[in-house]
A and B are shown apart, each in its own frame.
Chain A
């Protein structure tokens, strides 16, 4: 089983994955990592050490908001939520990503 660190795949992918995973509602850091892992059928695993710096960078940019709440196991946890700005960013980056993937596929097929 290969464990791919998405930050090493394509630049900006980590941001996109985090944004996408928050698209359906607020999550705490651990849940974000888990959701990405599960959704990719264990294909992508975010290194815990790079998750939090990325989250903080996105907070600075104003794409995310953080709030303390209670986790499913009844503990205090920090939940991240998309801001309208973040949602816009998600759409823009998703479109960009699709274009990129399509282009790469085209190259892979034709050349």
Chain B
């Protein structure tokens, strides 16, 4: 208790140092003058009195210093001293210091960067949004379905009305439209939101207003939009008179009522939102018509913010209770359905879910890298502590306490990791937006995956720094605590290659490094293999010589007859272009954004087993689609111009569908029922990839566009020309048909495939970069240990030489030593890798986590690195001059 008071007093002193000095001066002055006055009263002359008083007092300076010392913290003084000494030590061996700080900078920097990504993408993903720590994602669940479902609007309103533990509920559902910019159209992404959106998240438009109460009610009743700062600057050139102007979005004129502030990107992990429309406009942006009163139409993606102090568990209980009441009240629509809260980092309806595994794997990997870096620096410190053993021994001999020595060593570790952490933060700052770079760019759609260096990241980085300090200080400290004064002062033992007892610590560290790098190498090799598998998987269509693009007629307000005319004319012109072999429209391009239509089907002669209602996906495609895409038609024919509104209804099925529904028998001439209409099968196409390169084979069929018309469509073109060459010509053709229209980005199907595999590529790139980093750190570690071993055993090596050992013998001696360490590390790493590679789970495509090839490759790389790292020290061993080595003591 009294110590607490002392601390408080000392702290008070600390803040009032200047006043203390002034008062102390006054007080001493008063003392001396009072004494002088007393002497004067006894008859001493004024000058004499003053002088005598001063002399009696002695040094006022000393009194002041002693008094001040009473208030100060001894440890602070010691720390300052240790820091000074520590810096001097580091300054004296710049090579060591630079290497150590570099290792720590890389190790801590990799961690800080990943922390900042985790913070910015998963924990605080929405800049400018208030109280994200209490924000949770809200989604539905259904009995018998895993994962989340969307909510219906009436359910959402009932939850909002009946729950009391929440500040706010709001809807934010991603949607898209096309904006024509110049002669090219761009996909633009925005959100359908509830009217309280901007108020609920505490974001206030910088121009105009947000939505007001009631604007999310009614069928297409409130065509108003708030646009992003980015869109305002880019599309509207920062027009200050923008409020009140109109913009066509999905064919409907919307009045722009607000511009969101700079630095606000909406509430969707992965993409920067460019516009917001109220829920009443939902039917304009999504298929299925008016849904605001339909409890069976589930499209809502929502968030809820808990009141302060409410736990997620309490909130969930209340939600579940309300949901089960709804289930009772509306059994027809809500049977078996409930509602679930998700932390933001596990939000089921945006990219948080897909990035979570990547980031958690990366986090594990960077921790490995940090461990390796710490082991490296620890090794360097150990080596130095041997050479400093004499210094430490002397200090201990002249009375420095063990604790004091330990503190000195820890302080040096603190300086190193402090500098490393500072460098690491710089690395994190530079790489905070690096994650986006790993994803391929798409015209118009801006990815937004920000790192966030907030205080929590800083604190965590500081924590990592401290942890490494402890690790670093530990090695030499253990060494120091073993100092035996008498023997240590007497001898400076010369080492022997292998064999010496003290080197076990350094060897253990190298073994650890090698094993960690080996695990990372195996992981990288597995991912590379998996990516290669994905890349070389035949998608079932040509990837070169086929381009894909689109013209968005929906946004431009075309009706069906105009759209048909336009698309026919455009197709004629495209096919007439020099170099174009064929072209075809299709509602959905494989591996793209678009979702396929699906329908319950009935098949002639196939008895549906009870409880099974086969639902199959299909695509609406134009004439010559298969020829254009390079999808082989194995029997029958593909669609042609006569498969139109007036022709007989037809369909083409894929091979899996033949196997499943016709047991492999030729289905030509058989019928399939889709949405109540019977269609005759005229052709069988080979299976291909539809949604993703990782698709398993599944039944799929095609119907002619003309017989199942939807305005939206992509245009696929078979041509040897490159996208840029033909893009300009295409854009001109589009503009000459309708000056208000613009063409989308023109890309090859290969590009389309590449974009769809980007999550795998990102994982591979991250792991490869970090694995490379780990490997080079481990190589440095191995090199350091071997060089040190050689330099410490010069005498022994010299003796061997003098006794007739050849250079090749010495070479072998050192190499074997290095390889033995590597072998031990690889064995340990092998065991770890066998356990850990399973974590890669969904990232592995047709590759077993124990694939022997990956292990062999990792082994080869590790061995090559180990040989390279031990070569130089081994070569140096052979250059030892035996005479000099033996004379040296």
Residues of A whose CB lies within 8 Å of any CB of B are 28-30, 47-53, 55-57, 59-62, 68, 71, 73, 75-78, 85
Q: Complex formed: what's the CA distance from A48 to B57 in Å?
A: 5
Any A CB within 8 A of the CB of B479: no
In the complex, the answer to whether A49 meets B70 with C-beta atoms within 8 Å is no
Any A CB within 8 A of the CB of B571: no
In the complex, the answer to whether A76 meets B66 with C-beta atoms within 8 Å is no
Give the chain B neighbours of A73 by CB distance below 8 A: 34, 37
Residue of A nearest to B62 (CB): A49
In the complex, the answer to whether A52 meets B56 with C-beta atoms within 8 Å is no
Indicate whether A60 sits within 8 Å of B57 (C-beta atoms), given known contacts A48-B31, A49-B63, A53-B63. no
Q: Which listed residue (B6, B23, B33) contacts A78, Cβ 8 A? A: B23
Q: Which listed residue (B13, B34, B69) contacts A71, Cβ 8 A? A: B34
> How far does the Cβ of A10 sit from chain B's closest Cβ, in whole Å?
20
- Given pairs A55-B67, A62-B2, 18 additional interface contacts (CB within 8 A): A47-B58, A48-B57, A49-B58, A49-B59, A50-B66, A51-B63, A52-B27, A52-B64, A53-B67, A59-B70, A60-B9, A60-B70, A62-B5, A76-B30, A77-B30, A77-B34, A78-B26, A78-B27
Residue of A nearest to B71 (CB): A60
In the complex, the answer to whether A49 meets B66 with C-beta atoms within 8 Å is yes
Which of B48-77 touch A at CB < 8 Å? 56-59, 62-64, 66-71
Q: Complex formed: what's the CA distance from A102 to B381 in Å?
A: 58
Residue of B nearest to A77 (CB): B30
Give the chain B neighbours of A52 by CB distance below 8 A: 24, 27-28, 63-64, 66-67
Give the chain A neighbours of B64 by CB distance below 8 A: 52
Residue of A nearest to B65 (CB): A53
Any A CB within 8 A of the CB of B35: yes
18 intermolecular pairs with C-beta atoms under 8 Å apart = A28-B27, A29-B30, A29-B31, A48-B58, A49-B62, A52-B27, A52-B63, A52-B66, A60-B10, A60-B13, A60-B70, A61-B2, A61-B6, A62-B5, A62-B9, A73-B37, A76-B30, A85-B2
Give the chain A neighbours of B27 by CB distance below 8 A: 28-29, 52, 77-78
> How far does the Cβ of A12 sit from chain B's closest Cβ, in whole Å?
15
Q: Complex formed: what's the CA distance from A68 to B64 in Å?
A: 18
Q: How many residues of B contact A (CB 8 A)?
A: 30
Give the chain A neighbours of B23 by CB distance below 8 A: 68, 78
The 7 closest A-B pairs by CB, nearest first: A53-B66, A56-B70, A56-B67, A57-B70, A49-B58, A48-B57, A62-B5
Give the chain B neighbours of A49 by CB distance below 8 A: 57-59, 62-63, 66
Give the chain B neighbours of A76 by CB distance below 8 A: 26, 30
Q: Complex formed: what's the CA distance from A52 to B62 in Å?
A: 10
In the complex, the answer to whether A30 meets B34 with C-beta atoms within 8 Å is yes
Q: Complex formed: what's the CA distance from A49 to B67 in Å?
A: 9
In the complex, the answer to whether A71 meets B58 with C-beta atoms within 8 Å is no
Give the chain A neighbours of B69 by CB distance below 8 A: 53
Give the chain B neighbours of A57 by CB distance below 8 A: 70
> How far does the Cβ of A1 sit from chain B's closest Cβ, in whole Å?
15
Q: Complex formed: what's the CA distance from A62 to B7 in Å?
A: 10
Main DSSP-derived SS at the A contact region: helix
Q: Complex formed: what's the CA distance from A75 to B27 in Å?
A: 11
In the complex, the answer to whether A56 meets B71 with C-beta atoms within 8 Å is yes
Give the chain A neighbours of B58 by CB distance below 8 A: 47-49
Give the chain B neighbours of A53 by CB distance below 8 A: 63, 66-67, 69-70
In the complex, the answer to whether B66 meets A30 with C-beta atoms within 8 Å is no
Q: Complex formed: what's the CA distance from A52 to B61 in Å?
A: 12
> How far does the Cβ of A59 sit from chain B's closest Cβ, in whole Å?
7
> How far does the Cβ of A34 sit from chain B's closest Cβ, in whole Å?
9
In the complex, the answer to whether A71 meets B66 with C-beta atoms within 8 Å is no
> How far does the Cβ of B830 sit from chain A's closest Cβ, in whole Å?
61
> How far does the Cβ of B64 sit from chain A's closest Cβ, in whole Å?
8
In the complex, the answer to whether B63 meets A28 with C-beta atoms within 8 Å is no
Give the chain B neighbours of A59 by CB distance below 8 A: 9, 70
Give the chain B neighbours of A71 by CB distance below 8 A: 30, 34
> How far does the Cβ of A7 sit from chain B's closest Cβ, in whole Å?
12
Q: Complex formed: what's the CA distance from A76 to B25 in Å?
A: 12
Residue of B nearest to A33 (CB): B31
Q: Complex formed: what's the CA distance from A49 to B528 in Å?
A: 77
Q: Complex formed: what's the CA distance from A42 to B6 in Å?
A: 34
Give the chain A neighbours of B33 by CB distance below 8 A: 75
Indicate whether A75 sits within 8 Å of B30 (C-beta atoms), given known contacts A57-B70, A60-B71, A62-B2. yes
> How far does the Cβ of B495 sit from chain A's closest Cβ, in whole Å?
51
Indicate whether A60 sits within 8 Å of B6 (C-beta atoms), given known contacts A48-B56, A53-B70. yes
Q: Complex formed: what's the CA distance from A51 to B57 in Å?
A: 10
Residue of B nearest to A72 (CB): B34
Q: Complex formed: what's the CA distance from A59 to B8 in Å?
A: 12
> How far does the Cβ of B68 sit from chain A's closest Cβ, in whole Å?
8
Q: Complex formed: what's the CA distance from A71 to B24 in Å?
A: 16
Give the chain B neighbours of A62 by CB distance below 8 A: 2, 5-6, 9
Give the chain A neighbours of B57 by CB distance below 8 A: 48-49
Q: Which listed residue (B26, B30, B63, B67) contacts A30, Cβ 8 A? A: B30
In the complex, the answer to whether A30 meets B70 with C-beta atoms within 8 Å is no
Q: Complex formed: what's the CA distance from A77 to B35 in Å?
A: 13
In the complex, the answer to whether B31 meets A30 with C-beta atoms within 8 Å is yes
Which of B200-242 touch A at CB < 8 Å? none
Q: Complex formed: what's the CA distance from A83 to B162 in Å?
A: 61
Give the chain A neighbours of B70 by CB distance below 8 A: 53, 56-57, 59-60
Give the chain A neighbours of B2 by CB distance below 8 A: 61-62, 85
Give the chain A neighbours of B68 by CB distance below 8 A: 56
Give the chain B neighbours of A85 by CB distance below 8 A: 2
Q: Which of A49, A55, A61 has the most CB of B within 10 A?
A: A49
Q: Complex formed: what's the CA distance from A78 to B24 in Å?
A: 9
> How far does the Cβ of A37 sit from chain B's closest Cβ, in whole Å?
12
Q: Complex formed: what's the CA distance from A57 to B63 in Å?
A: 12
In the complex, the answer to whether A48 meets B63 with C-beta atoms within 8 Å is yes
Q: Which listed residue (A50, A55, A78) contacts B30, Cβ 8 A? A: A78
> How far does the Cβ of A68 sit from chain B's closest Cβ, in whole Å?
8
Q: Complex formed: what's the CA distance from A59 to B13 in Å?
A: 11
Which of B594-620 touch A at CB < 8 Å? none
Q: Complex formed: what's the CA distance from A38 to B27 in Å?
A: 22
> How far does the Cβ of B79 sit from chain A's closest Cβ, in whole Å?
20
Give the chain B neighbours of A68 by CB distance below 8 A: 23
Give the chain A neighbours of B5 by CB distance below 8 A: 61-62
Give the chain B neighbours of A61 by CB distance below 8 A: 2, 5-6
> How far does the Cβ of B405 sit from chain A's closest Cβ, in whole Å?
29
Residue of A nearest to B56 (CB): A48
Which of B470-489 touch A at CB < 8 Å? none
Which of B1-23 touch A at CB < 8 Å? 2, 5-6, 9-10, 13, 23
Give the chain B neighbours of A48 by CB distance below 8 A: 31, 56-58, 63
Give the chain A neighbours of B13 by CB distance below 8 A: 60
Give the chain B neighbours of A55 by CB distance below 8 A: 67
Q: Complex formed: what's the CA distance from A15 to B289 in Å?
A: 91
Give the chain A neighbours of B63 by CB distance below 8 A: 48-53
> How far does the Cβ of B644 sit from chain A's closest Cβ, in whole Å?
99
Give the chain A neighbours of B9 by CB distance below 8 A: 59-60, 62
Residue of A nearest to B58 (CB): A49
* Per-residue interface assignment for chain B, residues 408 to 423, with 1 indicating a CB less than 8 Å from any chain A CB and 0 otherwise: 0000000000000000
Q: Complex formed: what's the CA distance from A68 to B22 in Å?
A: 13
> How far does the Cβ of B832 sit from chain A's closest Cβ, in whole Å?
55
Give the chain A neighbours of B35 by CB distance below 8 A: 30
> How far does the Cβ of B453 sit from chain A's closest Cβ, in whole Å?
41
Q: Complex formed: what's the CA distance from A61 to B30 in Å?
A: 24
> How far does the Cβ of A93 sit from chain B's closest Cβ, in whole Å?
14
Give the chain B neighbours of A29 by CB distance below 8 A: 27, 30-31
Q: Complex formed: what's the CA distance from A57 to B59 in Å?
A: 19
Q: Complex formed: what's the CA distance from A48 to B31 in Å?
A: 9
